[in-house]
Each structure stands twice: as structure tokens, then as C-alpha cells.
Amino acid sequence: MEKVIEFIKYLMLGFVQGITEPLPVSSSGHMVIFDQIFGHVISPAAMNNFQIAVNFASLLAIIIYYRHLLKELIVGCWQFLFKKNKDQKPAFLYLVYIILATIPAGIVGLIIKLMDWDQYFTNILVVGISLLITGSLLMWIAKKQTTALRETITWKDALLMGGAQVVGLLPGISRSGITSAVGVSNKLQLEKALRFSFMMYIPASIAAAFLGVYDLIKPDTTATEPVFWLGYLGGFLASLISTYIAITVFFKLVKHKNIKYFGFYCLAVATIVLILIATGVFKW
């Protein structure tokens, strides 16, 4: 019975990851919050590896959602490079910008992993404060998105949004929220900024997944708990399905300029988290 309850908790964490990954509300922050609610079903070290597993599930869902765009970019890049089709230069440049934007977070993320600093990324106080920042950013985007009308990504967008993605590594800071905020501040249309943000997520998540697989399979003489593989599988599937549903619904909401409601949500959750910390309910 104990294993069944533990499996349900893993399943719920995967569902939380999947629902919140495409939304600008910080999936990593919500994972930390729900782990507190469930009574730390996963240790801080194991939580980071579980997050990588369910993040990979979200990655697959996002690839499926954007499969047509990805195919167009890859085919266009091939035709530009090897068929000398200059009409496909925009597709080639878009891929170059994605790679350029991924480099900063890739370097910082690797340093964090090699230095074992990722164990500090489960602090609930950091999550509460970061969600306040995320909520404020989303409210700002809601005000500015009507004046951000540019549709074409530039190298400046790639550099600025790539730098912002580094800050988005913090739990509670929405990666898509902060990168799209930078895009909107540079007059890039919100929907285009969000799409580019998800494109940046793909290579970054692939790299993180490889590191996570290495951590899972390498021998660890200091490990104090076995990997609950069934829980990982359940969380993976829950994350895969819920991510695809969430991203489909999210872009319908964005078209109707409803992003401010995500800002209200983040501010409300941040307030509740900080109150629970202050009253001793959440331990940090």
C-alpha cells in the first residue's frame, strides 16, 4: 500500500510538471511546492533527476506539438545549405538563432551540474520570492504586448532571450515568462517570443536529459535510496500527456491576450507560499 501511495505522488508530480511546463508559471517551482505538500517524497538530489526525467517527457510533447514547424526549419536549413536555395535563408537563420540563444543557459547549466549546485535549487523560499518576480513580469507583459508587433526574430533577440534563459534556471522564475518578457521589451510580438522560447527549450532540455540519464545509470556509492523506476515511468507518462494538452490550451489563451491571469496566479501562489513559510508550515 505504501508503494501505491508513493507511486500516486510521483504520478501527481509528473502531472504538475506537465501542466506547468508550457505555462509561464515555473514548472520547477511548482515541483518544489508540491514536494513540500507531499512531505518530501523525493530527496533534493533525487528530485533534480526526477525533474530531468519529467522535463524530457515535456520535451517530447513540445516536439510533437511543433513537429510541422521543426520539419519546415530542418528542411529549409538543408535546402539553404546544400541546395543553395536562398529563399530558405530565414529558416537557416532561425536555427542559428536557436543555437545562439541556447549557449548561455547550456554553459551555466553544465557548471551548476558539475559543481553539484543543483541540490540548492529546491529551496522553497527561493521559489516564493521568484514567483513574485514571475508574476510581476507577466503583469508587465500584459500591459506591453499590444505595442510589441514585430514578427521577425533577430540576433539581438536571440542573445537577450538566451541570457534571460539563464535566470530562468532558478526555481520559481518562469523560463518562458522571463524570455518572452525580454522579447516583448524588444518589441517582439508575444506569440513569436513564446514560440522562440519553446524552440530554445528543445536543445537545452535535450542536453539536460543526457546529463540526467548519466546520473541515473552511473554507480553511486553514496546513494541512500534506490531509484523508484515505476514512479519515474508514471511521472514521465503523466508529464508527456499533460504537457501536450496544456500547450494546446495555452496558445489559445495567448491569442485572446489572457496572459495577465497567469500573473495573478503567480502572485497569489507566491503570497501563499511565503505565508506558509512565515508560519512554519513550509520548512526552508
* Contact between 184 and 195 (Cβ < 8 Å): no
pLDDT of res. 180: 95
- Residue 60: C-alpha distances to residues 169, 225, 243 (Å): 20, 28, 9
Which residue, 279, 32, 256, is CA-closest to 145? 256
* Angle made by CA atoms 256, 261, 266, in degrees to the nearest 5: 145
Burial class of residue 240 in the structure, from the number of CB atoms within 10 Å of its CB (0-12 exposed, 13-18 middle, 19+ buried): buried
SS3 187: coil
**Amino acid 200: pLDDT:** 93
Q: Apex CA 21: angle with CA 124 and CA 183, to 5°?
A: 100
* Total residue count of the chain as it appears in this document: 284
Give burial (CB, 10 Å; 0-12/13-18/19+) of 184: buried
Cα–Cα nearest to 216, from 106, 107, 53, 55: 53
Q: For residues 90 and 95, what is the distance between their CA atoms, to the nearest angstrom?
A: 9
Can you tell me the distance from the alpha carbon of 137 to that of 182, in angstroms, rounded to the nearest whole number?
Answer: 10
Give me the DSSP letters along 92-158.
Answer: HHHHHHHHHHHHHHHHHHHHHHHTTGGGGTT-HHHHHHHHHHHHHHHHHHHHHGGG--B-S--HHHH
Phi, then psi, of 218 in degrees rounded to 5:
-75, 145
Q: pLDDT of the chain along its 284 residues, tens only?
A: 778 888 998 999 999 999 999 999 999 899 889 888 887 777 666 777 788 889 889 999 999 999 999 999 999 999 999 999 999 999 999 999 999 999 999 899 888 878 878 777 889 999 999 999 999 999 999 999 989 899 999 999 999 999 999 999 999 999 999 999 999 999 999 999 999 999 999 998 888 777 766 666 665 545 556 778 898 999 999 999 999 999 999 988 888 778 999 999 999 999 999 999 999 999 87
